[in-house]
Chains A and B, each alone.
Chain A
Amino acid sequence: MGLQGATSMQYLLWFFGIATCVKLLLIPSYHSTDFEVHRNWLALTHSLPLSQWYSDETSPWTLDYPPFFAYFERILSIFANLIDPQIVHPQKGLNYSSNTVVSFQRITVILSDLCMLYGVYRLTKDLDSKRRTLIWVLVIWSPMLVIVDHVHFQYNGFLLGFLFISLSYLEEGRDLMGGFFFAVLLCFKHLFAVAAPVYFVYLLRHYCCGGLVRGLRRLSAMGAVVTAVFAAAYAPFVYQGQIQQVLRRMFPFGRGLCHAYWAPNFWVFYIILDKLLTFFLRKFGFAIPTPEASFTGGLVGDSSPFSILPQITPLTTFMIVLLALSPCLIKAWREPQPGMVTRWVAYAYTCGFLFGWHVHEKASLHFVIPLATIAVQNMDSARHYYLLSIVSSYSLFPLLFEVREYPIKVLLLLLYSIIMWLVFSAQFTDGQEAKATSPINKEAGRLELKGNGNVAAKKGGFVIRGIEKSYLVGLLVVEIWGQLLHSIFFGERLPFVPLMLISIYCGLGIVYSWIWQLRWIIRSPES
C-alpha cells in the first residue's frame, strides 16, 4: 500500500537533505576539545608509522579508539592533506582552528552520516510506508545527534549506522552478517561492547541451533567471521608488538567512576546518598573522615571517594551491569526472537549507561536512537520514547555551555518535542487507525503487548499522562533554576548545584526508562 520503494527513498533523502542544510549552517558553532582530539588523530595517523599510533604523546589527546577508527582517520587524513597540509602536521597543526580545518572536519561528520542513512533505510525497509516515514523523521532529525555530532563534534551517527545495519540483518534473520557488522562496530568504538553479551546469547541460541553438528558448524562460522574482523583490526598491531599499548590506551581505568559532569545515571544517586549520610551522621556527632578526592572538582583518580558507602571499583560496575542485563539475557536464551533484538540491544546500552564505569552523558545516544526505531510500534513505546528523548536531549545541554549556542539547543529540543507530538498523535489518532495499521506489520503486531497498547490507543489519541507531564514541567523548572534563579539566590556560591540538579533530575528519567524497558522485556509474551 502507499508509496513505491523508489519514491519513498526520496523522502528519506529529503529528510536527510534538510538535516544536512542545518548541519552545514552549524559549521561555525562551538566545538569541544573532541574536535582537536580528532584533528590530532588525523595528524598522527597521517604522519607516523602504524607502530607509533598508540604510543605517540605529542598531544595530550592520544588515540584511544580501536584500530578501525584509526584506519578511518588515516583515510580521512589523505583528503585533509590535499586540502590543507597543516591539518595533518603533528606539531604545526596543534590546536589549528582555521576555517579550512573546521569546515573539513565538520563536513566529514556530515558525510559519514550517510552510513546512518543507509542503516536506517535498511532497518526500516520492510515496514509499511507510514511507520517508516515516522521513524525516519524521528531518527534523522534527532536533536541529540545534531548536538553531539555536529556541534560538540563526534562521529556517533556514523557508528550508529553500523549498529543499525547489524540490527537490520539480525531482524531479517541473517545472523552471520549481523554478527559481522557488530564486530566491525566494536573495532570502531569499543564502548559499544556493552551489548556484546546480548549479541553473544542471541547468536548462540538463534544462529547456532538445530542439532549439534549444524550448531557447531555455525558456531565455528560465526567464530571465524568475528575473528577475521578482529584480526583485520588488531593483527598489524600484534605484528608490531604494540598490542599491549593499544589495549592500555583503549581501557584507561585510571579515570574515575564519574565524568566531570555526572552523567545522569545510577551513580549520581549513590554519590548523593553518600553525601547525605555523611552530612547527617556528622550532625549526630560521628567523626567521618573527609575523602581526599572530591566529585565536584572534576576528574578523580583510582580511588572512589565515598565516606560511608562501599567503594566502587570497575569490577563492581561490571558485575552490576551484567546483573542488570541478566533478565534480558535469560529472555534471549529462552526464546531468541528477531523482533526483540533492537529492544534488547537498547536495553543493554541502557544498563551500561546506568551502571557503567566513567560513563559519559553522550553515551545515552546508544540507546535513545535505536529506541526511536521502535517508538511508533505502539502507544506505550511512543509515550516512553517521548519522555526519554526529551530527558536525554536535555541531559546533553551542559555539553554546549556557551551562550551563543543556547537558543540552538533549546530550539532543537522544542522543535523535536513538537515533531514527536505531531508524529505520535498522527500515528495514534484514533483506535480505528491504530488497529488498521497494526496487522499490516506482523512483526509489530506480534510485539504488541496483550491489550495494553491497543486499549490505550482505542481510548483516544496520544496523551501524555499526568506524572509524565509534571516530570517534564519539572525539567523546565530545573532549567530556569540553573539559568536564572540560582545566581539570584546564591550568586557565585555553590556553582556546581545547577549541573548536579540536571544530573539528578535527568537520572530519574533514565531510571524510569530503564525500569520501563525492563518491564517490557520481562512481560513480552513467549509464544
Chain B
Amino acid sequence: MEKSRGRKVMKDKEEAVDDDPWWWLVHKGIAASFMCIAMFALLVRVAVSLHPYSGAGNPPKYGDFEAQRHWMEITLNLPVKEWYRNSTTNDLSYWGLDYPPLTAYQSYIHGLFLRFFHPESVSLFTSRGHESYFGKLLMRWTVLSSDALMFFPAVFYFVIVYYAGRPHGQKTDIAWHIAIMLLNPCLMLIDHGHFQYNCISLGLTVGAVAAVLSNKELVACFLFSLALNHKQMSAYFAPAFFSHLFGKCIRRQNPLLEVSKLGLVVLGTFALVWWPYLHSMEAFLSVLSRLAPFERGIYEDYVANFWCTTSVLIKWKRMFTTQSLKLLSLGATFSTCLPSMVQQIRAPSNQGFLYGLLNSAFSFYMFSFQVHEKSILLPLLPASLLALEEPFLLKWITFYALFSMFPLLCRDKLILPYVALSALFILIYHVPSGRQDRRERLSFNSFVTTLLMLCSVVLHIVYITMKPPNRYPFLFEAVIMCLCFSQFVVLSFYSNAKQWALKRTIFMDKEKKLV
C-alpha cells in the first residue's frame, strides 16, 4: 500500500513533466536552450537578409544601406580627424557621418573586412552606390556578425542574471522569454531588412541593464556609455540609468564617492571614445554639431509621436521657431520622464528599473526632437525584457511598433518579411503549452482589443491596395500614425502607473518584514 502510493506520487510528478511539450528544449539547461533558439534566430536573420534593403537600386541617394557603406568608405580612406569634417574628399551632404565616434570605429572595422574580401566595394569615390552581389552579401554579413557578437551574448547575460535571482522560474518560461527577445520582428526587420546596426547599441544597452541587475554598476556605466557613443538615441534610456544608479548610490555608506566613481567611469569612457577629437574645441564641436541635426525639424515623415500626430491640428513648425521648439520638446520630454525618475530615486529596484527604462524611452519617443519611426525600437527593448511580467504590453507594443513602421517597410519592399515575421512573433507569443495559467494577466477589454486589431488589419490592406485621394496624399500614413500614437499613449500611461504601483508593493514587503 505504502509502496503503491509512493509510486503514484512519482507518477504524478512524471506526468507534470510530461505535460510540458517543451521538456526536450529545456532539459539540458538554459545554455542549451539558448544555443538552440539563438541558432534559429540567426537562421531567421539570414533569411530576412535575402530581402531588399532601404534604397536598393534607387540612385542618386539610395538609403541607409548606402549610408553605412559610405561610412565604411570614408573611415577607411580618410584620417580620423577628417571623418566628420566637410572637405573635397568628404562630402557631408552625401550621407555624412551623423552618429558618434563609436559608430565610425565600427564602420572602420567593418570596412577593413569588406576591403579584405572585396576592395571595390569600399574604394574612395568610385564605390558610391556600389551594389554588387558580393558587396551586398558582405555588408549583410557584417550586420549578422555584429548581432551574433553583441546582441546575442548580451541577451544571454541578461537571462542568466535576471533568472539567477528567481529560482522558481519555469524553464519553459525562460526559453519563451529568450525566444521573444531574440526574435523581435521589429529589430530584425530594421537591422537585417532595412539595414542598420541597432543590434550593437541595443546589445550594449542590454549588457548594461544586465550589469545593473547583477550590481556591477561600473561595468554598467561603461557599457551604457559605449551604447551612447554608438547611437545618440541610446540617451532615451539615460534618465532611467541615471535615476536608478543615483537612487542606489545615495543609499550607500559614502554616496559622494559612489557617484563620483560612476561619473569617472562615464567620463573616462567618453574620453576614450572621443580621444581623436579632444585636441581642439573646434574639432569637438564639429563632431557634436553633426550629431544634433536640429535643422531637420522637430519631426520627419510620419512618426507616431506627440509632435507629429498633433501637427494634424496644431502646426508646430509654423507657430514656433526651431529654437523655441527645442526648448519645448526638452521640457516636455524631461517632465514626462520625471515621475519615473523620481520613483527610481526614491525606491530603486530591479523591476522598477526595467519599467523606468520603458517609461523614459517612451517619453523620449513621444516628445523629443527629431524622432524617427525606427526609434520605436528603443521602447520596445525594455518591453521585451519585461515580457514575462507584461506579456500583453509586449504584444501590443510589438504590433503597433510594427504597424508604425509599415509605411517605411513598404517603401523598402519588405512586405513579405513583415508578414512572415509578424506571423512568427504571433506564433511564438501564443506558443501552445501544457499549462493554462499562461500570461495575459492584463488585457484591455477584449472587445476593444479585437476591434483595434481588426482596424489595423484592415488598414494594412487598405494601405497596400488603395490609392489615397489626391487632396490628401498622405491620408493613410496619418491615420496609421494616429492609431499607433493612441496605443503608445495608453501603454505609456499604463507602464508609468505600473512602475508607481511597484513601490507600494515593495514598501508592503518591507512592512511585512518589520512585523
Contact = CB atoms under 8 A, between A and B. Distances in A.
Interface stretch (B19-27, B246-254, B315-323, B455-463): B19-27
A426 interface: yes
Interface stretch (B35-43, B220-228, B383-391, B439-447): B35-43
Nearest to B141: A407
A24 interface: yes
Interface stretch (A129-137, A220-228, A518-526): A129-137
Contacts of A418: 32, 35-36, 39
A253 interface: no
Contact of B44 (A22, A103, A436): A22
B40 A422 contact: no
Contact of A18 (B25, B35, B424): B424
Interface string A99-121: 00001000000000000000000
Contact of B19 (A2, A18, A28, A426): A2
Nearest to B144: A407
B36 A408 contact: no
B44 A427 contact: no
B366 interface: no
Contact of A426 (B23, B42, B47, B133): B23
Contacts of B27: 422, 425-426, 429
Contacts of A7: 432
A258 to B, nearest CB: 31
Interface string A1-28: 1110001101100100110111011111
B282 interface: no
B36 A415 contact: yes
Interface string A21-37: 11011111100000000
B25 A129 contact: no
Interface in B5-63: 14-15, 18-19, 21, 23-25, 27-28, 32, 35-36, 39-40, 42-44, 46-48, 50-51
Contacts of B356: none
B24 A137 contact: yes
A465 interface: no
B420 interface: yes
B25 A28 contact: no
A415 B39 contact: yes
A423 B423 CA distance: 25
A28 B431 contact: no
Contacts, number: 105
B137 A404 contact: yes
Contact of A25 (B23, B32, B417): B417
Contacts of B434: 2-3
Contacts of B137: 403-404
B242 interface: no
B416 interface: yes
A112 to B, nearest CB: 18
B50 A404 contact: yes
A307 B18 CA distance: 61
Interface string B113-157: 000000000000000000001100100010010000000000000
B416 A27 contact: yes
A134 B42 CA distance: 23
B514 interface: no
A98 B15 CA distance: 53
Interface in A304-325: none
Given A25-B420, A403-B137, A427-B24, A14 B47 contact: no
A273 interface: no
A1 B133 CA distance: 54
B21 A3 contact: yes
Interface string A390-411: 0000000000000110011001
A414 interface: yes
Query: Which interface residue of A10, A20, A24 has the most chain B CB atoms within 10 A?
Result: A24
Contacts of B431: 14
B50 A25 contact: yes
Contacts of A127: none
Greatest chain A CB density within 10 A among B27, B43, B51, B133 is at B43
Interface residues of B, number: 40
A414 B47 contact: no
B421 interface: yes
A412 interface: yes
A414 B134 CA distance: 24
B432 A11 contact: yes
**Interface of A: prevailing SS:** helix
Contact of A423 (B24, B39, B51, B133): B24
Given A7-B432, A25-B50, A404-B137, A414 B21 contact: no
Interface string B386-401: 0000000000000000
Contacts of B427: 14, 17-18, 21
A11 B427 CA distance: 11
B432 A14 contact: yes
Contacts of A1: 15, 18
A21 B43 contact: no
A419 interface: yes
B454 interface: no
Contacts of B36: 415, 418-419, 422
Interface in B409-432: 416-417, 419-421, 423-424, 427-428, 431-432
Contacts of A134: 24
Contacts of B14: 436
B416 A411 contact: no
B43 A129 contact: no
B50 A29 contact: yes
B145 to A, nearest CB: 10
A24 B416 contact: yes
B39 A414 contact: yes
A411 B32 contact: no
Contact of A408 (B25, B32, B43, B141): B43
A28 B50 contact: yes
A455 B432 CA distance: 35
A20 B432 CA distance: 17
A455 B238 CA distance: 59
A1 to B, nearest CB: 6
Contacts of B144: 407
B32 A17 contact: no
Contacts of B47: 22, 25-26, 29, 408
Interface in A21-70: 21-22, 24-29
Contacts of A29: 47, 50
A362 B111 CA distance: 39
B333 to A, nearest CB: 37
Contacts of A25: 44, 47-48, 50-51, 416-417, 420-421
Nearest to B428: A18
Contacts of A11: 21, 432
Given A14-B427, A28-B51, A436-B14, A415 B24 contact: no
A24 B44 CA distance: 10
Nearest first, the 7 A-B pairs at minimum CB distance are: A426-B24, A25-B47, A24-B420, A415-B39, A21-B424, A411-B43, A10-B432
Given A2-B18, A418-B32, 8 more contacts: A1-B18, A18-B427, A24-B419, A403-B137, A404-B137, A407-B42, A407-B144, A419-B36
Interface of A: 1-3, 7-8, 10-11, 14, 17-18, 20-22, 24-29, 103, 129-130, 133-134, 137, 403-404, 407-408, 411-412, 414-415, 418-419, 422-423, 425-427, 429, 436
21 contacts: A1-B15, A2-B434, A7-B432, A17-B423, A21-B424, A22-B43, A22-B420, A24-B419, A25-B420, A26-B47, A29-B47, A133-B21, A403-B137, A411-B43, A414-B39, A418-B32, A418-B35, A419-B36, A422-B36, A423-B24, A426-B27
